[in-house]
Structure 1
Amino acid sequence: MIRVVLADDEAMIRAGIRAILATDPGIEVVAEAGDGRAAVDLVRRHRPDIALLDIRMPHLDGLAAAAELRAAAPDVAVMMLTTFDEDEYVARALAEGAAGFLLKAADPRELIIGVRAVADGAAYLSPRIAQKVIARFDGGRLARSRAARQRIERLTPREREVLALVGHGRSNQEIGAALFVSEGTVKAHVSAIMQRLGVNNRVQAAIVAYEADLLGP
């Protein structure tokens, strides 16, 4: 069962999201909050698999809550849910370690897909957000490619294999099956990769893989 703490300052939005998630018998909303401070407290108390946070909330916005949770509950994956897709929000969310970024205007099925992907150890960005991330990192690609290749020189050959699969959006389970290793071994590799690359989450690691040309054509 995937356990979720949901936070949004609009009760009707929370009800809609909860109803969508309830259509999947493998997902359970264990608690919900109307502001970021309460959300952080609930995550600390319930230790869910995922904290699904709206960006704009009173007392503590979703981005600040994500920053607190990265320190207080690093084992809990954070997904941002918002009406807005401005570059600043996307960049800050990824910098704070968010593993997913969903737009409220997206297809409801995308919410289920995103939650399941993140719970399985992958990252998930709404297609519109993914386009923005790629566009943001597309300019000056030659210089960044050179820098990214220097960064991956710190990795072992096996870690580069894992990083390439992370870049392709594979979950820990899928990476383990592809490389014939346990999921626990994959998690250890991913942690070591993020530490050596100096990144906070799988999305940032995937960007390094992309810029270092590990993903192929």
Structure 2
Amino acid sequence: MSTQPVRVLVVDDQPLMRRGLARLLAAEDGLEVVGEAGHGEEALALLAGFAGHERPHVALVDVRMPVMDGITLIRRLGEDHPAVATVVLTTFQEDEYLFEGLRAGARGYLLKDAEPDEVADVLRRAARGERVLTGVVADRLVGALDAFPSPVPEPSSSAAGPLSERETEIAQLISEGAANREISERLFVTEGTVRNHVTNALRKLDLRDRTQLALWYSRERG
């Protein structure tokens, strides 16, 4: 992907917003807007018509849309077009949309007041396979600990024991929104090693996913 532009599909039910986004993104280096859709079903129909070399690398998806909303679309993309990364773009900051989008498989989450270069950067990183949470979204994720005091199960009695120093370090970086690639670069280890440490930490704490690990770390260190 380094020698070709990142191909983007913009999905938003408001024509002015959709076309404005398309123009802004088309002006960014390394991005190419290859399609626009007003709802999820239209996006899926567009994707079905793309040849392999034309298919978007990433879809920028609004949450609230008629016919098929953004969360449903993200799930369908994960099932039918797993090579297309998704980034949520919305004006709504309610926690339910943040968590639902991430659970559905979104690689990133942006608010519509984000700067164009920030949107472009998140799209590029999501297309590379990174999970990207910008500052305000990462803060809301950690802040959910206060609003929902028991979102993470306590470690079971069968847990393998406390985390190692390296596993704890990785849990901290995940709580700060870092993707595996960023963690590997900061710790000078391979991404495979990072994944192994994450898997071990989840097993030891009897947790389901990285989000729960991030919440566990924030709660323990809070």
TM-score calculated relative to the size of structure 1? 0.74
Q: What pairs with 1:151-190 in structure 2 (closer than 5 Å)?
A: 164-180=172-188, 185=192, 189=196
Contact residue 145 and residue 212 of structure 1 kept, 8 A? no
Which residue type is aligned with residue 208 of structure 1?
Answer: L
Root-mean-square deviation (CA), in Å?
Answer: 3.8
2:86 pairs with 1:63: no
Give the unaligned 5+ runs of structure 1: 200-204
- Structure 1 equivalent of residue 92 of structure 2: 84
Q: Which residue of 1 aligns with 2:213?
A: 208
Q: Deviation at 1:34?
A: 1.5
Q: For the structure 1 residues 76 and 159, does the alpha-carbon distance in structure 2 shift closer, same or farther, using more than 3 Å as the test?
A: farther
| CA deviation string 1:52-101 (max 9, x = no partner) | 11112221111111111121122322111112112222222122111212
Kindly provide the amino acid, as one letter, of the partner of residue 79 in structure 1: V
CA contact (8 A) 1:148 1:212 kept: no
Contact 2:175/2:217 (<8 A) preserved: no
Q: Does 1:107 align with 2:121?
A: no
Q: Which of 89-98 and 160-169 deviates more?
A: 160-169
The answer as to 2:35 corresponding to 1:27 is no
How far, CA to CA, are the matches of 1:152 and 1:38 in structure 2? 48
Query: Does 1:52 pair with 2:83?
Result: no
1:9 is the counterpart of 2:21: no
Q: CA–CA distance in 2 between the matches of 1:108 and 1:57? A: 22
Q: Give the whole-Å Cα distance in 2 for the aligned partners of 1:193 and 1:112.
A: 34
Match for 2:216: what amino acid?
E
Hey, what's the Cα distance between the residues in 1 that align with 2:55 and 2:161?
36
Q: Report how many aligned residue pairs link the two structures.
A: 211
TM-superposed deviation, 1:182 = 5.2
Q: Report the residue type matching 1:105 in the other structure.
A: D
How many Å separate the matches in 1 of 2:188 and 2:156? 27
Distance 1:10 1:149, change over 3 A: farther
Q: Distance in 2 between matches of 1:21 and 1:34?
A: 17
Asked if 2 retains the 8 angstrom alpha-carbon contact of 1:82 and 1:102, the reply is yes
Question: Secondary structure at 2:146's aligned position in 1?
Answer: coil
In the alignment, the residues of structure 2 paired with residue 48 and residue 14 of structure 1 have an alpha-carbon distance, to the nearest angstrom, of 16
Deviations 1:78-131 (A, max 9, x none): 111112112222222122111212111233332123223323333333443333
AA in 2 matched with 1:209: A
Rg larger in structure: 2
- Counterparts of 2:161 and 2:55, CA distance in 1: 36
Q: Distance in 1 between matches of 2:105 and 2:197?
A: 14
Percent of paired sites with the same residue: 34
